[in-house]
Structure 1
Amino acid sequence: MPTTSSPTTAKAGAINAADLAALAENAGRAAELMRLMSNQNRLMILCSLIDGELSVGELNDCIPLSQSALSQHLANLRQADLVNTRREAQNIYYRLKGEAPIKVISVLKELFCPDHPAP
């Protein structure tokens, strides 16, 4: 006679209640990060910043966008708290902010750009 598992029997790999609660609490933040990174231009900006801070001019040199389009994407990333800025004379420098974008970009670079790994 085959055995059947009862609804209360935990399956291997099943998520527990505490993990499910943490996932539910953070799913919105994760989804927002993925939404912002789903735009190719913003993803390229974030990938460019993985190696360190860059000025708007330096970003504009490596990302084929008009200055106004680049500024709009940078504003979105600033509002989402994914980048920090600092001003030095006439230049504004951007760098990644926080652990989440750094880790996600590092994994993406490892998967899609294995010849150019993140630091």
Structure 2
Amino acid sequence: MTSPLRDIDPQAMREHAGEAAQLLKALANEKRLLVLCLLAEGERSVGDLNALLDLSQSALSQHLAVLREEGLVATRRDAQSIFYSLVPGPAFELIQTLHGIYCATGTRGGKP
């Protein structure tokens, strides 16, 4: 029987820990989490996000810039409108989980 410790690659763990810390840093803001929870429901325009959030347009733009720089959201332009969506990957899965626990209809703090 092999020890689970033998399967651990310390270098890979360090790299992944850094990636996870960077992701959590981007998520460690209530307003960015709200943006991501709205995007977990599907693509939205900047105008839609602005109407749904209690943020100035400049503050929303700053938060969206952080999310873009971290690779958490993608953009699509349609005429004059810019649409945002979540990028598939580990962050997407994490946001879907958080959305299911905290944002889904009928839930409150993870309790149905």
Q: In structure 2, what is the equivalent of residue 41 of structure 1?
A: 31
Q: Which protein is bigger by CA-based radius of gyration?
A: 1
For residues 34 and 101 of structure 1, what CA distance do their matches in structure 2 show? 9
Amino acid at match of 1:109: H
Cα distance, 1:114 vs. partner? 5.0
For residues 80 and 51 of structure 2, what CA distance do their matches in structure 1 show? 17
Q: 2:86 aligns with which of 93, 96, 117?
A: 96
Relative to structure 1, the CA distance from residue 46 to residue 17 in structure 2 (aligned partners, 3 Å threshold; closer, same or farther) is same
Relative to structure 1, the CA distance from residue 114 to residue 90 in structure 2 (aligned partners, 3 Å threshold; closer, same or farther) is closer
Root mean square deviation, CA, Å: 2.1
Q: CA contact under 8 A between 2:37 and 2:103: conserved in structure 1? A: no
**Per-residue displacement from partner, 1:67-106 (whole Å, max 9, x unpaired)?**
0100010011111111100100100000001212221112
For residues 113 and 16 of structure 1, what CA distance do their matches in structure 2 show? 39
Amino acid at match of 2:26: L
For residues 99 and 6 of structure 2, what CA distance do their matches in structure 1 show? 31
Gaps of 5+ in 1: 1-9
Q: In structure 2, what is the equivalent of residue 74 of structure 1?
A: 64
For residues 16 and 82 of structure 1, what CA distance do their matches in structure 2 show? 33
Query: TM-score, normalized by length of structure 1?
Result: 0.78
For residues 32 and 43 of structure 1, what CA distance do their matches in structure 2 show? 15
| Count of matched residue positions in the alignment of Structure 1 and Structure 2 | 106
Gaps of 5+ in 2: 108-112
Larger helix fraction of residues: 2
Q: In structure 1, what is the equivalent of residue 49 of structure 2?
A: 59
Q: Percent identity between the aligned chains?
A: 45
